[in-house]
Structure 1
Amino acid sequence: MSAGEDAVARARAAVGTPFRLHGRDARGLDCVGLVALAWGLTVPTGYRLRTGDPAVVARGAAALGLVAAEVARAGDVVLVVSGPGQLHLGIDSGAGLIHADAGLRRVVERPGAPPWPVLERWRREE
């Protein structure tokens, strides 16, 4: 199994976990916590729910050892604009997007292409 497939399996195992801002475990996850869980990363807390600067997110991804991906692959970390001033992360499952949905208050897998504009995608080099 590839690292991307492992990340998808870990993200899928989190489906149903409650949404919790800055959450990093089974008690609750936010989108950053889900990415951390899927890829085994240590990520920051203390950020705001809304942020609109993709360059800040890209620098954070690079600092974590993630590299930009041009062609979509299951396991990719995907950065989308989910609303005005709202950046959001998810995991490309190959069949959709696994993400921590604040509105639904849990981690979900949304089938198909994300309904939001995709700004960036990253992955770990294998």
Structure 2
Amino acid sequence: MGVDCVGLVYASLVAIGRKPVAPEGYRIRNADAQRWFAAATLSGFAAADGTLEPGDLILIIPSPGQQHLMIVENLQTAIHAHAGLRRVVRQTMATDQEILAHWRLNPISERKA
């Protein structure tokens, strides 16, 4: 059993105590990236721009008709589910990689009693 990029992000959020929302109508190959935007917001992410920070989530287009989620580890590497290797990997990010969307996880606000 393995996970794809959506499963990796989902499991990562659960592991840190968040309640993620999976995108509706999700398929491995799909040219419409809009479903990611709603799911990211509902899962506690906010659109970000500027420099990537550890823990940020990026949506890239590795090939036509396919989107892929990666979790930023640092400015050089990201963690993602590699379909070809069939496992989760740490990989150097391509400097020419187009980033379609960039999100940062909102902090959990503390409730005052």
With structure 1 as the length reference, what TM-score do the two structures score? 0.69
Query: Does the aligned pair in 2 maintain the 1:97–1:114 contact within 8 Å?
Result: no
RMSD: 2.0
Task: Flag the structure with higher helix content.
Answer: 1
Larger radius of gyration between Structure 1 and Structure 2: 2
CA distance in structure 2 between the partners assigned to 1:44 and 1:54 by the alignment: 13
Does residue 121 in structure 1 map to residue 102 in structure 2? Answer: yes
Q: Where does residue 3 of structure 2 map in the other structure? A: 29
Calculate the TM-score normalised by the size of structure 2.
0.76
Question: What are the ranges of 5 or more consecutive residues in structure 2 without an aligned counterpart?
Answer: 108-113
Q: Match of 2:82, as an amino acid? A: D
The answer (yes or no) to whether the contact 1:33–1:43 under 8 Å persists in 2 is: no
User: Which stretch of the first structure deviates more once superposed, 46-55 or 31-40?
Assistant: 46-55
Deviation for aligned residue 1:43:
3.7
Ranges in structure 1 where 5+ consecutive residues have no aligned partner: 1-26
Runs ≥4 residues deviating over 6 A: none
Number of equivalent positions:
100
Aligned equivalents of 2:13, 2:67: Cα separation in 1 = 19
Which one of the candidate residues 81, 86, 105 is aligned to 1:100? 81
Q: Percent identity?
A: 40
